[in-house]
């Protein structure tokens, strides 16, 4: 990075640290923070969409759909995240390749499972063989988003379902009295009003999602916790920047990062709640009315 | 036309696993110096196995790419096809051979050693708390003995556990421990004699991937014959390390 970094072993402290914090592994560490933020930014809307579908399935009067919703929510909520994250990348990865194999190579005469090995034909490999590294990275990232969205979608589904139930029945009855169908009443009355009841639950799930990002390493993505452990571990004289065990400092930095992230989101959820309470028949909405009057 | 020819070629060869022109994905851990580690100046995988792996690929005319994977899931990801080889200081043991295949060894069965804080009594080797990386032959050995096993997912955590008193000793490959002992100014010492474990270190491949295993086997044999493997061992492990 800096011109004086060619031989760090002879540098005075401040220059040594300047070089140390700008070496290649640290840049990978800094990049990992971006990966975590992007993962959160992508996963949150996807999980919300999955949760909305789940909540609608839970409400559904069509029983297969209702059972599907109940099955999904209860199974996923009942399995430890860790187990799910170990399961998804391998099971989903093999599942996709299995399907591709049957589409691409119907004439294949060899078994897919040979002893311990999972073998599909060349054309069925996902990502395709000889893909560039970024394709593999993107695939791993998509797998991570899928795993997170499936797990957190189940919690979101339950929260949204509860929020939909919490919209006062009188509102729906009034809508029906105006001649709206069930679907219209849901779309025009329930959906816009349920958010104020959903926000506390959703903010909980968001905070848990933020804290769950270290599970990324199970999915083959080198996240900030991986790098903190890797960089903080003692480096012997084999390395360019030898040092003692500094993991405590690296983990302290992570602690600050996560606290900052949760503090910012707490603030954002507070503002959102205020906006959504406007004109609602809730205690917060009542307070706003009184303050305005 | 081109596509059908390619598909026919693929069908003819695919049963044998990776083709010569396919990228061979090489799995490693990147946390076990000097076998494999992340070079802090370049950010790339480095170490004996990186250099050896690149040389094996060059000689076998394979197009290789390195993948870093957590140690605990390194075998499951190999068998499910996420990469094609493991070069991560993995000793050839019977238990592992039930799940994956190995090439001939590229390092001899090498001494494992105990380290402890200076002044520790040698009896802790048998009765004390021994830290080792999980799923290693060293952890297996401690588990079979009378001492208590304390497992960690990465090797450098075992050293920290020793320093902060959680463990009485660490059992690991001697080549991994040597720099820690040398850098510690007498704080850490080797405890008692070395122990020999396992059948040396080889390249792990899928059991069905005979073509790749045979190719790598042939090239490793070449490197043993012309002495280049020994030169590489000496470069990374010093002149005292057992050579072929």
User: Which residue would you say has higher pLDDT here, A293 or A80?
Assistant: A80
Q: What is the pLDDT of residue B21?
A: 63
How far is Cα A105 from Cα A122, in angstroms, rounded to an integer?
Answer: 9
To the nearest whole number, what is the mean pLDDT of chain B?
88
- Confidence check: pLDDT of B19 > 50: no
Is A121 in Cβ contact with B160 (below 8 Å)?
no
Question: Which residue does chain A place closest to B77, by CA atoms?
Answer: A90
pLDDT of residue B228: 94
Structure confidence at residue A220 (pLDDT): 75
What pLDDT shows up at residue A222?
A: 85
Instruction: For residue B63, give every residue at least 6 positions away whose Cβ sits within 8 Å of its Cβ, in sequence order, or none.
Output: B21, B22, B23, B24, B57
Interface of B with A in 99-138 (CB under 8 A): 99-100
Q: Is B185 in the same domain as B204?
A: no
Which residue blocks in chain A are alpha helix, DSSP H? Answer: 13-20, 24-59, 63-78, 81-104, 133-166, 169-177, 182-185, 191-212, 224-232, 247-277, 283-292
| Distance in angstroms (rounded) separating the CA atoms of residues A256 and B210 | 50
Could you tell me if B34 and B84 lie in one domain? Answer: yes
b/e code A213-238 from CB counts within 10 Å (16+ = b): bebbbbbbbbbbbbbbbbbbbbbbeb
Cβ–Cβ below 8 Å for A237 and B179:
yes
CA distance B32 to B69: 12
Residues B209, B179, single domain; the answer is no
The answer to whether residue B238 neighbours chain A at the CB level (below 8 Å) is no
Whole-angstrom distance, CA of residue A285 vs CA of residue A213: 34
If asked whether residues B230 and B126 sit together in one domain, one would say: no
Is the torsion defined by CA of B61, B62, B68, B69 positive or negative? negative
**Residue ranges of A 69-98 with Cβ closer than 8 A to chain B:** 86, 90, 93-94, 97
Residues B86 and B144 in one domain: no
Q: Does B151 touch chain A (CB under 8 A)?
A: no
Query: Does A222 contact B68 at a Cβ distance shorter than 8 Å?
Result: yes
Task: Lowest mean pLDDT of A25-34, A41-50, A131-140, name the range.
Answer: A131-140
Q: Is residue B8 part of a domain?
A: no
**Within 13 A of B33's CA, how many CA atoms are on the CB side?**
19
Q: Give the residue numbers spanning the domain of B96.
A: 19-108+199-237
Query: What SS3 class is residue B49?
Result: helix
- Is the pLDDT confidence value at A119 over 90? no
- Which residues numbered 30-49 in A keep a CB inside 8 Å of some CB on B? none
Question: Distance between terminal CA atoms of chain B?
Answer: 50
Domain count for chain B = 2
Rounded mean pLDDT of chain A?
90
Which chain A residues contact residue B236 at CB under 8 A?
none
Q: How far is CA A257 from CA A205, A211, B238, in A?
A: 18, 11, 42
Contact B43 A217 (CB under 8 A): no
Rounded Cα distance between B157 and B161, Å, is 6
Supply φ then ψ for residue B194, to 5 degrees.
-75, 160
Domain boundary assignment for chain A: 3-292
Query: Does B38 sit within 8 Å of A117, measured CB to CB?
Result: no
pLDDT tens column, A147-160: 999 999 999 999 99
- Are B210 and B89 within one domain? yes
Residue with tokens 């021994």: B130
What is the average pLDDT across A106-119?
84
**What pLDDT, on the 0 to 100 scale, is given for residue A87?**
82
| Residue A25 contacts B where some CB pair is shorter than 8 Å | yes
In terms of domains, do B72 and B23 share one?
A: yes
CA distance B148 to chain A (A): 24
Of B26, B71, B70, nearest to B52 (Cα)?
A: B26
Return phi, psi of residue B199, to 5°.
-115, 30
pLDDT at B217: 95
Residue A13: partners with Cβ closer than 8 Å, 6 or more residues away: none
Residues of A whose CB is below 8 A from B82: 93, 220
Q: B98 and B204, same structural domain?
A: yes
Query: Do residues B142 and B197 make contact, with C-beta atoms less than 8 angstroms apart?
Result: no
- The two tokens of residue B211 are 């073509």
Angle CA A35–A16–A235, to nearest 5: 65
Same domain, B137 and B181: yes
Residue B130 in any domain: the answer is: yes
Q: Contact B175/B241 with Cβ under 8 angstroms?
A: yes
pLDDT in tens, A227-268: 998 899 888 888 889 898 899 999 999 999 999 999 999 999
CB < 8 Å to B164, chain A: none
- Token pair of A169, please? 């029945």
User: How far A18 CA lies from chain B's nearest CA (Å)?
Assistant: 13
CATH number at residue B189: 3.40.190.10
pLDDT at B235 over 80: yes
SS3 B195: strand
- Distance (Å, whole) CA A202 – CA A191: 15
Residues B88 and B160 placed together within one structural domain of the fold: no
pLDDT single digits (tens) B110-144: 789 999 999 888 888 888 999 999 999 999 989 98
- Return residues 111-170 of A near B (CB < 8 Å): 114-123, 125, 129-130, 133, 136
ipTM: 0.79
Which of A217, A229, A240 comes nearest B40 by C-beta? Answer: A240
In a domain, B244, yes or no: no
Q: Does B157 touch chain A (CB under 8 A)?
A: yes
Tokens of A255: 């602690």
Environment class of B79 (CB within 10 Å of its CB; exposed 0-12, middle 13-18, buried 19+): buried
pLDDT band of A278, cuts 50, 70, 90:
confident
B174 contacts chain A (CB < 8 A): no
Task: Tell me, yes or no, whether B185 and B146 share the same domain.
Answer: yes
pLDDT of residue A1: 64
Whole-angstrom Cα distance, residue B221 to residue B233?
Answer: 15
In a domain, B47, yes or no: yes
Q: Verify that B96 and B205 share a domain, yes or no.
A: yes
Confidence of residue B239 (pLDDT cuts 50, 70, 90): confident
Name chain B contacts of A242, Cβ cutoff 8 Å.
183
Q: State the pLDDT at residue A205.
A: 95
Q: How far apart are CA B167 and CA B160, in angstroms?
A: 9
Answer yes or no: are the C-beta atoms of A277 and A288 closer than 8 Å.
yes
Asked if A121 and A188 touch (Cβ cutoff 8 Å), the reply is no
State the average pLDDT over residues B154-173. 92
Asked whether residue B221 is domain-assigned, the answer is yes
- For B49-98, the pLDDT digits (tens) are 999 999 999 999 999 999 998 888 899 889 988 899 999 999 998 899 99
In a domain, B187, yes or no: yes
CATH number of the domain located at residue range(s) A3-292 in this protein: 1.10.3720.10
Q: Pick the more confident residue, A121 or B47.
A: B47
- When pLDDT is cut at 50, 70 and 90, the band that residue B146 belongs to is confident
- Give the length of chain A: 293
Distance separating alpha carbons of residues B61 and B63, to the nearest angstrom: 7
CA distances from A77 to A82, A153, A240 (A): 12, 10, 46
- Beta-carbon contacts of residue A167 (< 8 Å; ≥ 6 apart): A189, A190, A193, A194, A197
Structure pTM?
0.82
Query: Taking CB atoms and an 8 Å limit, are A121 and B11 in contact across chains?
Result: yes
Average pLDDT over residues A124-131: 85
Q: pLDDT exceeding 90 applies to what percent of chain A?
A: 53
Of B206, B202, B212, give the one whose Cα is nearest residue B52: B202
């Amino acid at each position: 990075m800096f011109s004086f970094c060619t031989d760090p072993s002879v540098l005075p402290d401040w220059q040594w640290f300047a070089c140390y914090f700008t070496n290649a592994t640290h840049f990978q560490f800094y990049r990992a923070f971006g990966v975590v933020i992007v993962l959160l930014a992508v996963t949150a809307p996807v999980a919300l969409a999955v949760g909305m579908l789940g909540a609608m399935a839970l409400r559904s009067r069509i029983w297969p759909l209702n059972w599907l919703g109940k099955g999904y929510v209860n199974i996923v909520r009942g399995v430890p995240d860790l187990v799910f994250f170990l399961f998804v990348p391998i099971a989903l990865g093999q599942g996709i390749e299995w399907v591709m194999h049957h589409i691409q190579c119907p004439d294949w005469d060899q078994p897919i499972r040979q002893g311990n090995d999972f073998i599909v034909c060349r054309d069925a490999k996902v990502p395709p063989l000889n893909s560039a590294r970024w394709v593999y990275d993107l695939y791993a990232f998509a797998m991570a988003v899928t795993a997170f969205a499936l797990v957190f979608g189940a919690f979101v589904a339950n929260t949204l379902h509860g929020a939909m139930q919490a919209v006062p029945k009188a509102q729906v009855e009034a809508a029906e009295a105006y001649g709206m169908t069930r679907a219209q009443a849901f779309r025009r009355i329930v959906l816009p009003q349920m958010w104020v009841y959903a926000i506390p639950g959703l903010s909980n799930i968001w905070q848990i999602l933020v804290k769950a990002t270290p599970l990324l390493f199970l999915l083959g993505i080198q996240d900030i916790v991986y790098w903190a452990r890797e960089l903080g571990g003692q480096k012997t004289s084999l390395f360019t920047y030898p040092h003692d065990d500094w993991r405590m400092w690296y983990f302290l930095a992570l602690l600050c990062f996560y606290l900052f992230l949760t503090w910012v989101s707490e603030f954002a959820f507070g503002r959102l709640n205020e906006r959504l309470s406007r004109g609602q028949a809730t205690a917060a909405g009542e307070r706003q009315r009184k303050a305005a009057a | 036309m081109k596509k059908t020819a390619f598909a026919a070629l693929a069908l003819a060869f695919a049963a044998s696993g990776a083709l010569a022109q396919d990228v061979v994905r090489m799995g490693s851990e990147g946390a076990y110096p000097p076998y494999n580690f992340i070079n802090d100046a370049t950010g790339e995988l480095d170490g004996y196995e990186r250099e050896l792996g690149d040389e094996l690929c060059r000689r076998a005319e394979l197009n290789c790419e390195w993948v870093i994977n957590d140690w605990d899931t390194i075998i499951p990801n190999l068998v499910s096809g996420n990469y094609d080889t493991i070069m991560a200081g993995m000793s050839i043991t019977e238990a592992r051979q039930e799940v994956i295949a190995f090439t001939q060894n590229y390092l001899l069965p090498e001494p494992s050693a105990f380290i402890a804080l200076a002044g520790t009594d040698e009896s802790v080797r048998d009765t004390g708390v021994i830290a080792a990386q999980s799923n290693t032959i060293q952890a297996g050995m401690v588990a079979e003995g009378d001492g208590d096993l304390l497992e960690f997912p990465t090797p450098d955590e075992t050293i920290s556990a020793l320093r902060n008193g959680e463990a009485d000793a660490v059992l690991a490959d001697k080549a991994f421990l040597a720099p820690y002992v040398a850098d510690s100014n007498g704080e850490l010492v080797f405890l008692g004699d070395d122990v020999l474990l396992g059948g040396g270190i080889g390249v792990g491949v899928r059991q069905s991937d005979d073509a790749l295993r045979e190719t790598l086997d042939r090239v490793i044999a070449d490197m043993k014959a012309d002495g280049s493997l020994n030169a590489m061992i000496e470069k990374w492990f010093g002149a005292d390390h057992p050579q072929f």
